[in-house]
Copies of this chain bind each other. A is one copy, B any other.
Amino acid sequence: MNTKRTNTNWKNKIHEIIYEADTPMGKWFDIVLFVLIIISVILVMLESVKEIDAKYHDALYAFEWVVTIFFSIEYVLRIISIKKPFKYIFSFYGIIDFVSTIPLYISYFFAGSQIFLAVRALRLLRVFRILKLVKFIGEASELTRALKASRAKIAVFIYVVIILSIIMGTLMYYIESDDTGFTSIPRSIYWTIVTLTTVGYGDIAPQTHWGQFIATLIMILGYGIIAVPTGIVTTEFAKNNKQKGNAADNGTNFVHMNTQCCPSCSAEGHRDNAKHCYNCGGTL
């Protein structure tokens, strides 16, 4: 029993360092992790620049191994120190952690699997977890909330844009000849979206009078259509803003939360004075 307690203490210690940011050690761990992620992503980028890779290939490769091993250890510790490891493993961040660590091993054992190395860019998503400690997380959650609330309207909007693009794209395919780039309907649809979103690469551009006329209609349409998502999101922000104003008047709605994370169920966002997890009731 004594061993078990020590064992638990040791696990608790690691849990505190890795999962939380309220102790000095936890903060340092997060900062080191943050820096490592950023450096590692920059290295992945540099690797792809031919001149740099030609010169520093070995150094980059060595460092990549260092980072990978560090991340592997971190991943193992995360599994060990949590009470319900499977919940972590199959959580969003658990999968990101695994998928962004594994590629180098795969490319080592299986030749020709370099394409998996691209997945390492997903490491950037891990930064979001670390940023829990930064003040502006509140702002982010407000943005997310507004976007979520207008999800259905935005879905309808995107749906209409796609239908429109397909019909207009098909029309343009039959109007324009092949040699101006409208070689197939999917390509014409690609062009329509490029035009409707006002991106306008110019790699494909209508040359006939009718093609240019319809292109003009699509542009003005796209120019007007952009008002719709903006209107949706703005209204949502304004609504939220008002509610918050009311909540602030009533005074009791907002409580400061810390970055602790329940060792049993991984729920986050506990009150500063919380002793038990609001979700599973386990001791924090």
Counting CB contacts under 8 A, is A167 at the interface?
yes
CA distance A234 to B234 in the complex (A): 7
Inter-chain contact B118/A170, CB cutoff 8 Å: yes
Chain A, interface size: which category?
35 or more
Inter-chain contact B158/A220, CB cutoff 8 Å: yes
CA distance A118 to B167 in the complex (A): 9
Q: A224-B154, A227-B229 are in contact. Are A48 and B185 (CB under 8 A)?
A: yes
Per-residue contact bits, chain A 41-69, to B (CB 8 Å; 1 contact, 0 not): 10011011110000000000000000000
**Residue in A147, A185, A222 with the greatest tally of chain B CB atoms within 10 Å:** A185
CA distance A34 to B207 in the complex (A): 31
Counting CB contacts under 8 A, is A197 at the interface?
yes
CA distance A125 to B237 in the complex (A): 32
Chain A residues with CB under 8 Å of chain B are 41, 44-45, 47-50, 115, 117-118, 120-122, 124-125, 127-128, 135-136, 139-140, 142-143, 146-147, 152-158, 160-161, 163, 166-167, 170-171, 173-174, 183-187, 189-190, 193-203, 205, 209, 212-213, 215-216, 219-220, 222-224, 226-239, 241
16 A-B contacts (beta carbon < 8 Å): A44-B170, A45-B166, A45-B170, A45-B186, A47-B185, A122-B167, A124-B166, A125-B163, A128-B163, A193-B216, A194-B215, A197-B198, A197-B220, A198-B199, A199-B200, A223-B226
